[in-house]
Amino acid sequence: MEELQLNSSFATLPPQFYTRLQPTPMPEPYLVCASESAAQLIGLDPAQFRTERFVEIFSGNSILPSSTPLAAVYSGHQFGVWAGQLGDGRAILLGEAPAPAADHPAVLELQLKGAGLTPYSRMGDGRAVLRSSIREFLCSEAMAALGISTTRALCVTGSDQRVMRETVETAAVTTRMAPTFVRFGSFEHWYYNDKHEELKILADYVLDRFYPELREGGNPYQAMLTEVTRRTAQLMAHWQAVGFMHGVMNTDNMSILGQTLDYGPFGFMEAFNPQHICNHTDRQGRYSYSMQPRIGQWNCYALGQAMLPLIGEPDDVHTALQVYSSAYTGKLDELLHAKLGLQTLQPDDQKLFDEMFSIMQASHVDFTLFFRRLGEMRIEDKASDEPVRDLFIDRAAFDAWAVQYRARLLQEHSRDDVRRVAMHAVNPKFVLRNYLAQIAIEKAQNKDFSEIEKLLKVLEHPFDEQPENEHYAVLPPDWASELEVSCSS
């Protein structure tokens, strides 16, 4: 552990950007779970997981000599309403670790989530709870395995310290990793406080560290807004294509790198319903599945407003934001073609997609199982339809759509064996269903962490058949529909 040398480029920013402070120690911490693949990104030997030193450092009870702990300030729009100053109310940045196995740039910030009170905690207690920490850990690693841009989770440490949420729960700390935790709300903070000098300092920091190639143009700030907008649009397409719902798409939860950030009341679509709301705190459905693409765009407009003093002219901001629609529709179209095993583009493809989603909605078809089983269909063998056909209440509607789908496959001379391999490579068999996470959480609350480890290993290979783990890929039980997740964490 002592060989883990941390730097902190964020700490080189002026002091108004953060507060230096130490994490609040947790009483008698213990390891709940850890990710070997995340550890490998920063060259950390998984054998360290079993050491007391590892638990002490990643619970916030001990600080590496090279660490410069701090909590960052930011603001944001929450549920579409300006919320003013927010900031890291329970997260503390330890520093940046070299990450030779990660994508460019080759450093990852390590952040403790749930590490105690900060000046930005407002009415909170600075702690996270075991329940939500396990969910964030598993989903961060599951999304990475799905190939979706995301922050990573190194580990979760727990304690018997009790904290009050909707009920009394126990405390936990998640160690998160990302190239940066700068958010849309980080820019909004300086804009709405009329601090244009600080706004420029932050933009220059992000440009120089993460978008240096954009410095070559005439308006690098406009170029950065364009690139962030493009990445965000493509991220939304990836979420929609896999049935992922974030639940709290506030501007303070939007990464400036287009990564999935801040896993709270998330969910993966089961019985398909475009209006599904995964967060029971979201009474108006602002962050429902069908709204996510529009909210992603709304958030980019909020960022554009914050960057206006740097970009110069409203028309230049508008030009940068215009990339959203084409980036989103282009990526989603590409992903849907891949999910259906289609290799060419045809004029009526959108109609085929629309009718598919319509019959899925009418029969409340399980999202993940539909696409996975669709890959087993054979053009000349209607009996092969049965596994996917059985998901439908209205089987006649599926049969009518299947006629169109087969005709489309014949049009491009599709081969069953080739198509099956291609479809199974993009349509996961295993996703983090809420009930699977709940089972793991309930065992963990009794100090049995074995189910987290089993589930993690399954989710790290979501596209593999894994016949020995078939029970993780079946329709959810009836009680799963009664589970609710909210913003309390």
Query: In whole angstroms, what is the distance from residue 128 CA to residue 141 CA?
Result: 19
Query: In whole angstroms, what is the distance from residue 422 CA to residue 438 CA?
Result: 32
Nearest one of 87, 73, 56, 261 to 179, comparing CA atoms? 261
Q: What is the DSSP string of 19-34?
A: EE-PPPPPSS-EEEEE
Query: For residue 425, how many other CB atoms are within 10 A of its CB?
Result: 12
Query: For residue 213, how many other CB atoms are within 10 A of its CB?
Result: 11
- What is the tens place of the pLDDT at every residue in 327-374? 999 999 999 999 999 999 999 999 999 999 999 999 999 999 999 999
Query: In whole angstroms, what is the distance from residue 278 CA to residue 480 CA?
Result: 13
Phi, psi for 128 (deg, rounded to 5): -110, 165
Are 204 and 13 in contact, with CB atoms under 8 Å apart? Answer: no
Binding residues: 87, 89-90, 113, 125-126, 176, 183, 253, 262
Examine the residue annotation and report whether 252 is marked as an active-site residue of this protein.
yes
Residue 393 burial (C-beta neighbours within 10 Å; 0-12, 13-18, 19+): exposed
> Residue 309: helix, strand or coil by DSSP?
helix
- One pLDDT digit (tens) per residue for the chain, 489 residues: 778 999 999 999 999 999 999 999 999 999 999 999 999 999 999 999 999 999 999 999 999 999 999 999 999 999 999 999 999 999 999 999 999 876 666 899 999 999 999 999 998 899 999 999 999 999 999 999 999 999 999 999 999 999 999 899 999 999 999 999 999 999 999 999 999 999 999 999 999 999 999 999 899 999 999 999 999 999 999 999 999 999 999 999 999 999 999 999 999 999 999 999 999 999 999 999 999 999 999 999 999 999 999 999 999 999 999 999 999 999 999 999 999 999 999 999 999 999 999 999 999 999 999 999 999 999 999 999 999 999 999 999 999 999 999 999 999 999 999 999 999 999 999 999 999 999 999 999 999 999 999 999 999 999 999 999 999 999 999 998 888 887 765
Query: In whole angstroms, what is the distance from residue 457 CA to residue 430 CA?
Result: 11
Residues facing 108 on adjacent strands = 97
Binding residues for ATP: 87, 89-90, 113, 125-126, 176, 183, 262
Phi, psi for 161 (deg, rounded to 5): -60, 130
Are 443 and 449 in contact, with CB atoms under 8 Å apart? Answer: yes
Written as one letter, the residue type at 321 is L
Helical segments of 94-217, H only: 130-145, 184-192, 196-210
Binding residues for Mg(2+): 253, 262
Phi, psi for 322 (deg, rounded to 5): -65, -20
> What's the N-to-C CA distance of the chain in angstroms?
29
The two tokens of residue 247 are 């639940």
Phi, psi for 111 (deg, rounded to 5): -130, 130
The two tokens of residue 390 are 């059985």
The two tokens of residue 93 are 């940045």
Q: What is the dihedral of CA 238, 239, 244, 245, to 10 degrees?
A: 180
> Tokens 């991220």 appear where?
235
Query: In whole angstroms, what is the distance from residue 152 CA to residue 158 CA?
Result: 18
Are 448 and 377 in contact, with CB atoms under 8 Å apart? Answer: no
Query: In whole angstroms, what is the distance from residue 391 CA to residue 424 CA?
Result: 18
C-alpha distances (whole Å) from 415 to each of 318, 411, 446 are 45, 11, 50
Query: In whole angstroms, what is the distance from residue 252 CA to residue 183 CA?
Result: 6
The two tokens of residue 92 are 């503390």
C-alpha distances (whole Å) from 341 to each of 337, 355, 413, 423 are 6, 17, 12, 5
Query: In whole angstroms, what is the distance from residue 6 CA to residue 95 CA?
Result: 5
The two tokens of residue 29 are 């911490």
- What is the tens place of the pLDDT at every residue in 443-470? 999 999 999 999 999 999 999 999 999 9
Catalytic residue among 252, 282, 316, 385: 252
